[in-house]
Amino acid sequence: MEFNWGLMFSSYAAVFTPGILFMICVGTTAGIVIGALPGLTATMGVALLVPLTFGRPPLESLSMLMGIYCGAMYGGAISAILIRTPGTPAAAATVMEGYPMAKRGEAGRAMAMALFASFFGGVVGAVIMTFASPFISSIALEFGPVEYFALAIFGLSVIISISGRSLIKGMMAGFFGLLISAIGFDPISGFPRFTFGMVEMMEGPPFIPTLIGLFAVSEVFNEVQKSGVTQQVKAKLDQYLPSWQDIKYCFRELCRSSIIGTVIGAIPGAGGDIAAFISYGEAKRASKNPERYGHGEIEGLAASECANNSCSGGAMIPLLSLGVPGDAVTAVLLGAFVIQGLQPGPMLYKEHIDIVYQIFASMMLAQFAMQFIGMAGIQLFARVIMVDRAILTPAIFVLSVVGAFAMRSNIFDVYTTLAFGILGYVMTRYDYPLSPILLALILGPMAEANLRRAMVISGGDPSILVSRPIAIGLMVLAVISLILSIRGHQKVEARMAEMEAQFEKAVAD
Amino acid sequence: MKRRTMLAGAVALAAGIIVTPALAAYPDKPVTVICPWTAGGGTDVLLRALAKAAEKHLGQTINVVNQTGGAGAIGHNAIRAARPDGYTLGMITFELNSLPPQGLVPFTWKDFDPLMRINSDPAALTVRQDAPYNTVRGFMDYAKAHPGEITIGNSAPGSVWHIAAGLAAEKTGVQVKHVPFDGAQPAVTALVGGHIKAVAVSVAEVKGQVQAGNLKLLGVMSADRDKIFPDVPTFKEQGVDVQFYTWRGLGLPKGVPAPIKTKLADAFKKAYDSPEFQEFAAKASLNLAYQNSADFTKFLDQNYKDVEAVMKSLGLAKK
Amino acid sequence: MKIADIVGGLVGILIGLYAIWEGTKMPTDVVMKIGPSFFPNFLAGFLILFSVVLVINAVRGKSKGTVEPMRLADKGVQRGLITLAASLVFCVILEPVGFIPSSIAFLAFMMVVMGKRKPIPILIAPPLITVSVWLVFEKILNLSMPAGLLADML
């Protein structure tokens, strides 16, 4: 496919009209708010607003949906940083660095970096989508059950990087999470496992309520217990953009994460949550200061936010060029296209190449809209943590319950949230990290279902697992990554011990 | 104090409204339609389009609520257990007839009051464009000659498309491997990528890839040929007598007063006939197949018996 | 932390054993060799392995970090338990009573628990927060919250 510069300029001109720009801004604003609300994901946001586009012209509707998609991916970071609740699963890795930063009074710095990283990743994703779609999309189809299994294993190797201080406890949390992910219908035979006879458990514990419970509700219990002891956070909110130093410091990770994010986005079925975790793990592994991770390291925050936004550009690639959605959001978008009478895929390139270019253009403009609207919103959102804790903490609980309920309108999900809240509180108290559970819940089903699927295809012959080059490559990467992270962990341990010794010496003196 | 009196007043007011018979002015408040499947999925999009068209005929807002989970069991149960006042109804789907034989739910379609059938999509056998066979017969002969090689993807274990593929294989006596995916879309993607040999899903789900020339349809499991692909013969025409459909319709909880049911049926029938819904259905390549309450009831009865029999013979039903 | 680690390890072992025991009741798959119980068994094995290591480390006195003991006399612990009870009550009454009344009551109660004593904020903040959350979800996003007692008013 030749790149058509003339068409690209005319598409930008078509999008650059007040009406379309307005729709992009409306979509982006709605997306940021939806993303920031716990329980409402980018997928949910797009799904809820698709009906509003019935009967509107294609460009208008699609540009609004692009805005929602991009806005929601960033919006998730807002609540992740401010109230330790990943607004969307893709922001789960952001919590690990963003919340400690906010607790240190650096909410403004964290928010500015999250926004800029999202913008940076979004732009890189959109550029790659514009220029390299046909090339990248050829990788997407190479992914069959064996490759997905290998990808899941590679993703799971990040567990060590997110394990915190005790490797053993991190692994326990990880395997516990994987076991939880096995609850519900067996992906191949359909046998309901560990359901205790409950219909609600047949699809496993619902992901969003689990996420909200583990992070937000457990922190509510923690806050309540400490109320009066902890000081009100005095946040400096004078930042709209990250400082030049911060950008320079994170630049390498921004570049790397945006590439990782785009590629993972382009693989059908792997979305922003996986991209963010893998980028975070890679950033920590490559960092000169891995011991700062988990205590508010801005580089880790930038990596995860950058990856989840570049993922949206990546996920559009197989959707547009193959008609195969790259993640859950684009699966919903596929429906929205069809309602517009457009069938994404090679035919779209042949028959409606103008629409394809207009989507490129509106995706790019949505990034700019996100940056500007986000800047306007930073002050407003960041004020949240200045709110009196006695009001904020109970309000977070109510919002968590609402978010858990909204997804499926099922009271069972509210109890799930509460149960995982208690679990999260107990685990944090005794030094078990929570993030490995989350990673396991995301990747566990992917690993199992695809391993079993591969076995069905091969008739039970395990040699199929080493029969394909991409899969072998990913497995080798997983092993390397495991070895390097264990060595990294030992390095962190040594430095921490050194620091503690120095501290004790200083106290003794 | 003031707040307490206000609250007491509000409770009294609420209680007052509960006892007033709601029949006279039905509908005097928004109506809720339960969708047992995720927001943004095929069923959800169809229901939202229909609900939007029905609003002006009913004269009230219609809210679509997604109560998902348990392979549709939770949403269906919510419809069944709703207050039978006409303010809650729901979309019932094929799974209502495939969950009970598996012993997964304690209710059947008989616990519902069927309002109308909306669509009914046949399964279709789809393979890659470069496959060495062009007919259902050719496919089956190839499968016989190459045992253990044919893999057919479907949308989930025990799902409608799993049953359809199983039925076709059983009727022709070939051994194939069924590969369940997490929805029809990933199965189609795997077929395009060459990781499996065929899929047995609906025409709408493969339409894009067929038109793009990546996949080809070998046959549809319906009585008549498909409207979008009239060149594709049915299974029966090719000598394999298999018909298998998924369906969707509206259902009420048992016990809704007849006048209210009539009002709902009228409003949704008008919505069904409206040009905007018809246009939507055409774009989404849905095979519309309206049936009124009485016919839909008869259809469900027959369909339930058929599905149960097939699942038993395929070993998918609970022993 | 030593005792906490031993208890944590034992809980891990129990969960693992439960998963394996439950797995024995699952149907076996003769053709593909690995059935529904394969993956859980594998995971449970590793969970047990790491739990055992944790317990052994703890017994040998190698536990890391310290943890403050929980005392019932502690004001914070009391507040935590009250919150737990209040949140449980909130979840239970959510459906029958409805979102708006139960949320207002919960928020007001929790503000008192967290040390607010002035009546004005306690009267104003809960209804304000509740109604704005309700408006966003119910009216703008069209996601319904349990109506409960107010079912016929809203």
Question: Which residues in chain C are closer than 8 Å to B68, comparing Cβ atoms?
Answer: none
Q: Do A405 and C84 touch (CB under 8 A)?
A: no
Task: Show the tokens assigned to A174.
Answer: 């990880």
Report yes or no on A220 lying in a domain. no
Helices (H), A216-352: 218-226, 244-266, 272-286, 298-322, 328-339, 346-351
- Rounded mean pLDDT of chain A? 89
Question: Looking at chain B from residue 92 to 111, which residues have their Cβ under 8 Å from any Cβ of chain A?
Answer: 102, 104-105
CB atoms B32 and C144 under 8 Å: yes
Q: Identify the H or E element spanning A431.
A: none
Please check the confidence at residue A54 and state whether its pLDDT lies above 80: no
Residue A193 within a domain: no
Dihedral (CA of A103, A108, A114, A117) sign: negative
Which pLDDT belongs to residue C16? 95
Cβ of B14 within 8 Å of Cβ of C142? The answer is: no
* Domains of chain B with CATH codes: 27-120+246-314 (3.40.190.150), 121-238 (3.40.190.10)
The residues near A222 (Cβ < 8 Å, ≥ 6 apart) are A425, A428
Please list every residue in chain C whose beta carbon sits closer than 8 Å to the beta carbon of residue A178.
43
A354 domain residue, yes or no:
yes
Considering CB atoms only, which of A144, A341, A449 is closest to B195?
A144
pLDDT at B104: 85
**Position A55 in a domain:** yes
Q: Centre a 10 Å sphere on the Cβ of residue B69 and count the other Cβ atoms it contains.
A: 26
As a three-state string, the secondary structure of chain B is CHHHHHHHHHHHHHHHHHHCCCCCCCCCCCEEEEECCCCCCHHHHHHHHHHHHHHHHHCCCEEEEECCCHHHHHHHHHHHHCCCCCCEEEEEECHHHHCHHHCCCCCCHHHEEEEEEEEEEEEEEEEECCCCCCCHHHHHHHHHHCCCCCEEEECCCCCHHHHHHHHHHHHHCCCCEEEECCCHHHHHHHHHCCCCCEEEEEHHHHHHHHHCCCEEEEEECCCCCCCCCCCCCECHHHCCCCCCEEEEEEEEECCCCHHHHHHHHHHHHHHHHCHHHHHHHHHCCCCEEEECHHHHHHHHHHHHHHHHHHHHHHCCCCC
Neighbours of C119 (CB within 10 A): 8
Is A456's CB within 8 Å of B70's CB? no
Give residue-wise pLDDT tens across range A455-508: 999 888 889 999 999 999 999 999 998 998 888 888 888 888 888 788 888 777
- What confidence tens digit (pLDDT) does each residue in C51-110 have? 999 999 999 987 777 777 777 888 888 999 999 999 999 999 999 999 999 999 999 999
Check if the beta carbon of residue C12 is closer than 8 Å to that of residue A177: no
| Number of folded domains that form chain A | 1
Q: Which two tokens stand for residue B318?
A: 């609970």
Mutate to test the interface with A, among B45, B47, B280 (most CBs of A within 10 A): B45
Three-state DSSP class for A366?
helix
Check CB contact of A459 with chain C, cutoff 8 Å.
Answer: yes
Subunits with 3+ C-beta pairs closer than 8 A to C: A, B
Tell me, yes or no, whether A364 lies in a domain.
yes
Task: Give the model's pLDDT for residue A229.
Answer: 57
Question: Is A460 touching B (CB cutoff 8 A)?
Answer: no
**Percentage with pLDDT > 70 across chain B:** 92
| A487 in C contact zone (CB under 8 Å) | no
Q: Which amino acid is at A107?
A: A
Q: How confident is the model at residue B21 (pLDDT cuts 50, 70, 90)?
A: very low
- The pLDDT of residue B82 is above 70: yes
Residue in the block written with tokens 């922003």 = A272
Mean pLDDT of B84-89: 91
- A199 shares contact with chain B (CB less than 8 Å): yes
Cβ separation of B64 and C153 shorter than 8 Å? no
If you measure CA to CA, which chain A residue comes closest to C132? A399
Residue position matching structure tokens 């992914």: A143
Mutation site, C3, C32, C70, interface A, largest A CB count within 10 A: C32
Interface probe with B: pick from C123, C152, C153, C154, most Cβ of B within 10 Å: C152
Per-residue pLDDT at B16: 40
Interface partners of B (3+ CB pairs, < 8 Å)? A, C
Judging contacts by C-beta atoms under 8 Å, the chain C residues touching residue A430 are 1, 4-5, 8, 67
In a domain, A408, yes or no: no
Query: Cis omega (within 30 of 0) on the bond before B233?
Result: no
A43:B40 CB<8 A: yes
Expressed as residue numbers, the domain containing A357 is 5-168+239-388+469-508
What does the pLDDT look like over B237-256, one tens digit per residue? 999 989 999 999 999 999 99
Cα B238–B189–B157 angle (5° rounding)? Answer: 70
**Which of A110-119, A227-236, A252-261, B120-129 has the least mean pLDDT?**
A227-236
pLDDT greater at residue B213 or residue C139: B213
C118: nearest CA in chain A?
A: A390
CA dist., res. A139 & res. A161, Å (int)? 27
A346 has a chain B CB within 8 A of its CB: yes
Question: Which residues 26-65 of chain C have a CB within 8 Å of chain A?
Answer: 26-27, 29, 31-40, 43-44, 46-47, 50-51, 53-54, 57, 64-65
On whether residue A81 sits in a domain, the answer given is: yes
pLDDT band at A25 (very low <50, low <70, confident <90, very high): very high
Closest residue to C115, CB basis, from A166, A172, A228: A228
The pLDDT mean for chain B works out to: 87
Residues 188-247 of A with CB under 8 A from C: 188-189, 191, 193-194, 217, 220-221, 224-229
Q: Are C79 and C87 in contact (CB under 8 A)?
A: no
Which residues on chain B are in Cβ contact (under 8 Å) with C143?
A: 65
| Predicted pLDDT of residue C33 | 67
For residues A507 and A504, give the distance between their C-alpha atoms in angstroms, rounded to a whole number: 5
Residue A205 in any domain: the answer is: no
